[in-house]
């Protein structure tokens, strides 16, 4: 637009996009596009710190479709991108985490099933993610679905994964900063194995009302595991997924969870995007599939938040160890 006697005034591309698409402040496609670039530049300047000890984290929610596997693989990829050594153990017979991380996991392939049954160690079956040289994967296949019945009579049936992971970490020449265990959407023996093998629980919560109903049941189960099997287990992180800031419901669910668990709910939320769901079909995480998109940016921000909390989480676990 020009004014008589003055030079032309041009608005920036970001201002133009925001003006065209935004209905009100901080909403709409335009502001998201403008915001993504700023957030991406900020991420590039962040420095991740190696935790003082390996953080062993199970990602669990017995409710399916909450973004559990997406959270596992994308946080792992974001931390690997930041220079961390990361191990992902797929404990879901569906093997979706293995698919997203480019690991072979056909029936009969060496997998976590062989580890649980004692036929192989973690080092024997793990594969390196093609996209990240510092990210290793212990794959799962449909064979794992029979493991619960096969191990149910073993005296150490709850500790099979823990024993294998301890042995691997003790003998590994590489120090792993993070171990993530992707759990099946159930509360069975495989999930209990995962809870006994880690010190932390990360719970993804979908930004919908029904997601809150199952949370109490999961917290109750974690409490039973703490009491009977693993007193060090700590619910260290909750992450709200499939968040749509334009809807009142998403904001209400986030506030509800934040009110009940103020110290463990991440400030970062994960948006509902097609790219996050699409990436695994190409054998990738959204971190490499759509690196400049809001899904990748949000998971990288969440990974940074988790990394920043390492000291206080590890100190809390250490104090529990001293009490026991």
**For residue 224, is pLDDT > 60?**
yes
Question: What is the rounded distance in angstroms from the CA atom of residue 187 to the CA atom of residue 185?
Answer: 7
pLDDT of residue 323: 86
**For residue 20, is pLDDT > 70?**
no
**For residue 312, is pLDDT > 80?**
yes
Q: Which CATH number covers residue 88?
A: 3.40.50.300
Torsion sign across C-alpha atoms 52, 197, 176, 218:
negative
pLDDT of residue 21: 46
Quick check: is 292 in a domain?
A: yes
For strand 86-91 and strand 135-138, is the pairing parallel, antiparallel, or unpaired?
parallel
Residue with tokens 């009940």: 260
Quick check: is 15 in a domain?
A: no
In this prediction the pTM is: 0.89
Quick check: is 34 in a domain?
A: no
Residue ranges making up the domain that contains 160:
51-323
Per-residue pLDDT band for 317 (boundaries 50, 70, 90) equals very high
pLDDT in tens, 63-77: 777 889 999 999 999
**For residue 9, is pLDDT > 70?**
no
Q: What is the mean pLDDT of residues 25-35?
A: 59
Structural domain total, the chain = 1
Question: What is the rounded distance in angstroms from the CA atom of residue 295 to the CA atom of residue 74?
Answer: 9
Contact indicator for 225, 294 with CB cutoff of 8 Å: no
pLDDT in tens, 109-132: 999 999 999 999 999 999 999 999
The least confident of 19-23, 31-35, 46-50, 238-242 is 19-23
């Amino acid at each position: 637009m020009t004014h008589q006697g003055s030079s032309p005034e041009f608005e920036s591309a970001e201002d133009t996009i925001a003006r065209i698409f935004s209905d009100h402040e901080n909403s709409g496609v335009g502001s998201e596009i403008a915001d993504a670039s700023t957030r991406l530049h900020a991420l590039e300047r962040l420095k991740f710190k190696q935790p003082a000890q390996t953080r062993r984290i199970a990602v669990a929610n017995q409710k399916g479709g909450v973004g559990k596997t997406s959270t596992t693989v994308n946080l792992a990829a974001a931390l690997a991108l930041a220079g961390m050594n990361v191990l992902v153990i797929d404990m879901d017979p569906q093997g979706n985490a293995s698919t997203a991380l480019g690991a072979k996991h056909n029936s009969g392939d060496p997998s976590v099933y062989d580890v649980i049954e004692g036929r192989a160690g973690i080092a024997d079956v793990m594969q390196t993610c093609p996209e990240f040289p510092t990210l290793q994967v212990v794959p799962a296949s449909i064979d794992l679905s029979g493991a619960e019945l096969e191990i149910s009579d073993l005296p150490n049936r709850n500790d099979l994964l823990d024993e294998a992971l301890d042995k691997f970490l003790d003998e590994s020449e590489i120090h792993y900063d993070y171990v993530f265990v992707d759990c099946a959407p159930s509360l069975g023996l495989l999930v209990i194995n995962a809870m006994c093998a880690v010190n932390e629980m990360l719970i993804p919560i979908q930004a919908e009302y029904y997601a809150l109903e199952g949370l109490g049941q999961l917290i109750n189960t974690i409490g039973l595991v703490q009491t009977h099997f693993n007193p060090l287990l700590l619910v260290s992180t909750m992450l709200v997924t499939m968040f749509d800031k334009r809807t009142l419901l998403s904001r209400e669910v986030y506030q509800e969870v934040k009110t009940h668990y103020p110290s463990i709910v991440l400030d970062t939320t994960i948006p509902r995007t097609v790219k996050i769901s699409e990436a695994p079909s190409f054998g990738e995480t959204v971190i490499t599939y759509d690196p400049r998109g809001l899904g990748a940016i949000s998971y990288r921000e969440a990974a940074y938040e988790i990394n920043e909390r390492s000291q206080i989480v590890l100190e809390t676990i250490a104090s529990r160890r001293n009490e026991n």
